[in-house]
């Protein structure tokens, strides 16, 4: 005889819910990480780039040039020039994004004001471009990773990309091309080229910060020795595998497909394991931006 749904509900033990605590912890983490990221941006600007007459892209780059021409504090310009874009972002993208961005921009602006009297660590242009770009990229990446932005042009790029056949990255690159060209007229072409180096390094560091050094990769393996390969991957890499059903497009034969998620650092070992068992196996590897749930956590191996 079956149990009624009402009985099932009554028999279910009451478990304490901690959603409020979890949300508070996540909010605190977001605030702290955006605080660190915006502060790193301020350090990159005032300790490395601005003293060496280099610019970043977007509103930040425009603010640096206007600050140099009109002798207005950089922090004030960063806040004022980003405000219109924050209002647009609030209306078009969302309240959480706009408030997160506002917080990050204010922290960055205050940071640049506080650090302005500090002497630069180096006056060597190449060193300033490299280290400034690294710190700037990590800072921006942290802010973006936790739901904010540090530049109003990104908001404009998102809105333009919705209406025109261009990606957000292409629109931002188009804006920054003009800004970096303008830097050549304001600071000289040598400094503009160093600014381009800093911008490129920052761009790459944003990717590293967003995706992590241990970037995940998805792997599909087709082999008649799928069981041996799967067990070897579990034993030697500590990764769980999934066997999928497949069918050959030409032969019509049934095939087993191994699916496994690994890190970038494990790719070479994975390929060596497959090669040991079947040198003719089909292996396809793709990048994954994020992995959640399931049993991705690495098992202990000996």
**11-58 residue pLDDT tens:** 444 554 455 666 788 888 888 999 999 999 999 999 999 999 999 888
Confidence label for 139 from pLDDT (cuts 50, 70 and 90): very high
Residue 196 clears pLDDT 80, i.e. is over it: yes
pLDDT at 2: 45
Are the C-beta atoms of 221 and 184 separated by less than 8 Å? no
Name the token pair of 3.
């149990």
| Domains parsed from the chain with CATH numbers | 25-211 (no CATH), 216-287 (3.30.70.120)
pLDDT at 296: 54
pLDDT at 214: 56
> Lowest mean pLDDT: which of 19-23, 122-126, 131-135?
19-23
Give the pTM.
Answer: 0.70
The pLDDT mean for the chain works out to 83
Q: How far is CA 249 from CA 194, 218, 219, 223, 243, in A?
A: 52, 22, 20, 15, 18
Task: Say which DSSP state 2 is in.
Answer: P
Residue 125 clears pLDDT 90, i.e. is over it: yes
Q: What is the percent of the chain with per-residue pLDDT over 70, rounded to a whole number?
A: 84
Residue 148 clears pLDDT 90, i.e. is over it: no
**Higher confidence at residue 52 or residue 3?**
52
**Higher confidence at residue 57 or residue 301?**
57
> In this structure, how many other beta carbons lie within 10 angstroms of the beta carbon of residue 19?
7
Residue 16 to residue 72: CA distance in whole angstroms: 55
Q: What is the Cβ-side half-sphere exposure of residue 149, based on CA atoms within 13 angstroms?
A: 23
Of 110, 98, 141, 104, the closest CA to residue 46 belongs to: 110
């Amino acid at each position: 005889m079956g149990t009624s749904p009402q009985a099932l509900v009554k028999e279910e033990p009451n478990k304490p819910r901690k959603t409020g605590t979890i949300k508070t912890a996540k909010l605190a983490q977001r605030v702290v990480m955006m605080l660190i990221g915006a502060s790193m941006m301020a350090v990159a600007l005032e300790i490395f780039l601005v003293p060496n007459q280099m610019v970043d892209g977007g509103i930040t780059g425009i603010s640096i040039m206007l600050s140099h021409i009109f002798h207005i504090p950089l922090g004030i310009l960063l806040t004022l020039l980003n405000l219109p874009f924050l209002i647009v972002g609030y209306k078009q993208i969302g309240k959480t994004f706009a408030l997160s961005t506002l917080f990050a921009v204010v922290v960055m602006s205050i940071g640049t004001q506080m650090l302005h009297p500090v002497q630069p660590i180096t006056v060597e242009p190449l060193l300033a471009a490299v280290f400034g770009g690294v710190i700037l990229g990590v800072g921006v990446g942290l802010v973006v990773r936790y739901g904010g932005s540090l530049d109003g042009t990104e908001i404009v790029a998102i809105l333009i990309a919705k209406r025109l056949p261009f990606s957000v990255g292409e629109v931002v690159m188009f804006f920054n091309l003009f800004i970096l060209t303008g830097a050549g007229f304001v600071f000289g072409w040598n400094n503009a080229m160093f600014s381009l180096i800093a911008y490129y390094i920052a761009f790459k560091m944003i990717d590293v910060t967003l995706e992590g050094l241990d970037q995940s990769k998805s792997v599909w393996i087709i082999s008649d020795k799928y069981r041996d390969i799967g067990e070897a991957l579990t034993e030697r890499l500590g990764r769980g595998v999934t066997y999928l059903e497949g069918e050959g497009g030409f032969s019509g034969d049934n095939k087993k497909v191994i699916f496994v998620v690994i890190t970038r650092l494990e790719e070479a070992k994975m390929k060596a394991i497959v090669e040991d068992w079947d040198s003719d196996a089909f292996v396809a590897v793709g990048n994954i931006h994020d992995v959640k749930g399931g049993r991705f956590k690495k098992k202990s191996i000996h």
